[in-house]
Amino acid sequence: MLVLNETRVVRARLRAQRESGGGAELLLLRPRAHAAFDPSAREWLALVRPGRKLRAGARLRIGEAAATIVEVLPDGPRVVRFDDGVDVGALLDAHGEVPLPPYVALRQAQDDTGDAARGERYQTVFARVPGSVAAPTASLHFTAEVLDALRARGVVTAPLVLDVGIGTFRPMSGVTIDEHVMHAERYAIPAETAAAVAAARRDGRRVIAAGTTVLRALEGAALRTGGVDAGEGETNLFVTPGFRFDVVDALLTNFHLPRSTLLVLVAAFAGYARVRSAYREAIAQHYRFFSFGDAMFVERT
């Protein structure tokens, strides 16, 4: 069976003007009070630019709306409070941008496609539940035709949601793996998916994760009992060598960059020597990395 992440990338990037003068940028990560995307929330966790000029008390204007930086968190994000009466959902619809990676925006800058169409390319064909600030990129390889062909061959597909946030894309900055602190990300596993995973394991069929986000959701949910229970939760699971995998048997994933938690996860899953060998081959054959790059299918060691 193949498990897919139905999360949808939100138009979470807002370009603003500082009341003190100069431009600014907000990337809304999630509401402060709870993990699920909620456009009615007043306070949000956000990444900001320029960080040194956006301290507590700074005022911003986005179109006709206004917001205040109310707190600087120890690891860098800000708490942003929108003024009373601001409809954040409408603000994102009117002024928000899909936070495309810089290399995607640069590569596509010369084509005739508008921003909306470029943003839609950064969504999976089954994106349904808003909440992410980055796409689950392994699933960008799927088309409706590919999924139909898989199902015709007897592959069972099942959805879940993990909202891709700072936990997935923030690079490691410490000298050792142990120094990295993983940020929590929200997941939701439907009852039907939990039952399908349990049935596949009981029948001896492989559980295949479409991407590292699916793997983290399934293995994070299974940490307590060894099984996948339905429901919502948060996981700050950082999969490192030595981790015991209880659920996922195989993984489809892109080629990741050095110093990323995703590369550490893949090495823990498939074995360091095998992954190192695969990356040598990918470099020699000029495989493409990043979001729209090539993919690999790896089995658990």
pTM of the model: 0.92
Domain at 2-7+118-299, CATH from 3.40.30.10, 3.30.360.10, 3.40.1780.10, 3.40.190.10: 3.40.1780.10
Q: Residue 145 carries which side chain, given as an amino acid letter? A: E
CA–CA distance, 60 with 82 (Å, rounded to integer): 9
Estimate the crossing angle of helix 272-284 against helix 261-270, to 10 degrees: 120
How far does Cα 271 stand from its chain's mean position? 23
Residue 66's pLDDT is 97
**Extents of the domains making up the chain:** 2-7+118-299, 11-95
- pLDDT the model gives residue 118: 65
Residue 59 CB neighbour total at 10 angstroms: 15
Q: Kindly list the distances between the CA atom of residue 44 and the CA atoms of 8, 35, 38, 175, 294, in Å, as whole numbers in the listed order.
A: 18, 10, 10, 31, 34
| Dihedral over Cα of 232, 238, 242, 248: its sign | positive
Question: What is the Cα–Cα distance from 55 to 143, expressed in whole angstroms?
Answer: 44
Distance between CA atoms of residues 34 and 45, nearest Å: 10
Predicted pLDDT of residue 114: 58
- Our measurement of the distance from residue 139's CA atom to the centroid of its chain's CA atoms, rounded to an integer in Å, reads 11
- Classify domain 11-95 by CATH number: 2.40.10.240
Q: What pLDDT does 110 receive? A: 47
pLDDT of residue 100: 87
- What three-state secondary structure class fits 131? strand
pLDDT in tens, the chain (301 residues): 999 999 999 999 999 999 999 999 999 999 999 889 999 999 999 999 998 889 999 999 999 999 999 999 988 899 999 999 999 999 999 999 999 887 766 555 445 455 566 677 889 999 999 999 999 999 999 999 999 999 999 999 999 999 999 888 788 888 899 899 888 899 999 999 999 999 999 999 999 999 999 999 999 999 988 899 999 999 999 999 999 999 999 999 999 988 899 999 999 999 999 999 999 999 999 999 988 889 999 999 8
User: Which pLDDT belongs to residue 146?
Assistant: 97
**Helix 212-221 / helix 261-270 crossing angle, nearest 10 deg:** 70
